[in-house]
Structure 1
Amino acid sequence: MDTAPRPGLRERKKQRTRDALVRSALELFAAQGYERTTVDEIVEAVDVSQRTFFRYFAGKEEAAFAVQEMAESHFLDAVRRRPPHEAPLDALRRAVMAGWDTIGEAIEAIVPIELHMRTYQLIESTPALLAIHLRRHEALEEQLARLIAEREGIDVDADPRPRVAVALFGGVMRLAARRWGAGDDFSVAAMRELTASYLDQTGPALIENWHTRDGSGHRDAEEAQGDFAPITPTET
């Protein structure tokens, strides 16, 4: 049972103002581009002052990443809640899948989920935002590596495995996000399905031989022998 005290009226009003600024910013970024959107336009849409905006955000880039930051915190919490017996990559995979299943309500309290998903495309197509995103991604990976090391009871600075596992996981996630952004279906379901399919290929990509296999998934003896067949000169 949640026993956390409910925020007071002042805090709730501040949260509503912040949420309204985030939604205004993302709507304007999506409609006319990040670079062409000014803080003046964002605050005008909410009917507040620039001073109010800068009370919540250092600049418009912080507003651009506000919902994503919430989603990242949600994911980190999901990793912390995974059972300790799960292997690190399995815990990360299950946490991200659970995150997609549960984050929607929290996001939609601020912006429509479709707008949040469109923000991914905006970030990938805007050099200034992409640079920030990559720095943020690196910081998130370090947090995850330390979290995994803590779960496993090892020293993250002495044992490279946590950072290696997280780098692998993060690379797959980045690839899935890029492929999703290049497609035609921008729904959460599409992102979730694509993410799952790419994560499913992590093991095979690392440990399997990629040569053609028969229907059972194994190479037959004749095919395997062909790898080592002598090369004979072609008759002319």
Structure 2
Amino acid sequence: MGLRERKKEKTRLAILDAALDLFLEQGYDSTTVDQIAGSVEISPRTFFRYFTSKDHLALWFHDHGEEIMLETLRNRPADEPSFTALIQGLRAVVRDMEGSTPEDTARFLKLRRLMEENPHLVGQSVARGAATERRLAVEIAARRNVDVTTDQRTHLIVAFAMSILRVGFECPHREVTDVRILVERMEETLELAQNAFRPGWDV
């Protein structure tokens, strides 16, 4: 990462940190883009160079996870079974979590609290997850050389994989005070899933 990219990333994280603190201190609906921008001494116009809206900011982790999964999927061997390739994409997300800094962990826990306190954001999170599934389906269909608009197996492959992510993050529901708890839970869920399907079902 070059100097320019590092500066942009620093600004992006500063905006995110300021927004999360404001959301939790004074409420999500009561916090404006102008307030967030002002707290990091940038203009609202600059804010919109990094995030399209408050909702985008609150759901930023979807972008990050999707990018990791898509990049991993595109780099997997072409002859690897589709579900296995997607599992590796999920494992890449888990490895990224394992490498979290204390600052990353604090952001993640704040985002979980924000979701718990603002149920309407959960619905938007589900919608954002559905968009990720559609993009993953396009990649899986290309790997399988089928039409994404008509091949049901492709969408089942993606749906099964993404359900692993949901179960790993949410079940059983208990207070999460450390990202390592989620990492362990995700690993257990991935192992269960890999043992649940017969070889060749995703061909």
Q: Give the superposed CA RMSD.
A: 2.9
Aligned: 1:85 with 2:59: no
Identity %: 31
CA deviation map 1:60-109 (0-9, x unaligned)? 1122223431232122111222223332222222221122213666x759
Q: Which is bigger in relative contact order (C-alpha 8 A, separation at least 6)?
A: 2
Which runs of 5 or more residues in structure 1 are unaligned? 208-236
CA distance in 2, matches of 1:35, 1:104: 32
Which consecutive aligned stretches of 4+ in structure 1 deviate over 6 angstroms post-superposition? none
TM (norm. structure 1) is 0.70
61 and 78 in structure 1: CA distance in 2 versus 1, 3 angstrom threshold: same
| Between 164-173 and 123-132, the greater mean CA deviation after superposition | 123-132
Tell me whether 1:25 sits opposite 2:19 in the alignment: yes
Distance 1:174 1:125 in 2: 19
Go from structure 1 to structure 2 and tell me whether the alpha carbon gap of 1:197 and 1:156 turns closer, same or farther (over 3 Å shift).
same
How far did 1:147 drift? 0.8
Give matches, 1:1-236, under 5 Å.
Answer: 6=2, 8=4, 13-102=7-96, 108=101, 111-179=103-171, 182-202=173-193
What is the CA–CA distance in structure 1 between the aligned matches of 2:77 and 2:116, rounded to whole Å?
Answer: 34
Query: How far apart, CA to CA, are the structure 2 residues paired with 1:104 and 1:32?
Result: 31
Whole-angstrom CA distance in 2 between matches of 1:90 and 1:55: 36
How far apart, CA to CA, are the structure 2 residues paired with 1:74 and 1:130? 22
Higher-Rg structure is 1
Alpha carbons of structure 1 residues 33 and 97: separation in structure 2 relative to 1, 3 Å: farther
The amino acid that maps onto 2:155 is R
Q: TM-score when scaled to structure 2?
A: 0.79
Tell me, what secondary structure is at the counterpart of 1:112?
helix
Q: Is the helix fraction higher in 1 or 2? A: 2
Q: Which runs of 5+ in 2 are unaligned?
A: 199-203
Q: Is the 8 A contact 1:71 1:103 kept in 2?
A: no
Q: Deviations over 1:113-136 (max 9, x none)?
A: 231243134235423311221111
Number of equivalent positions:
198
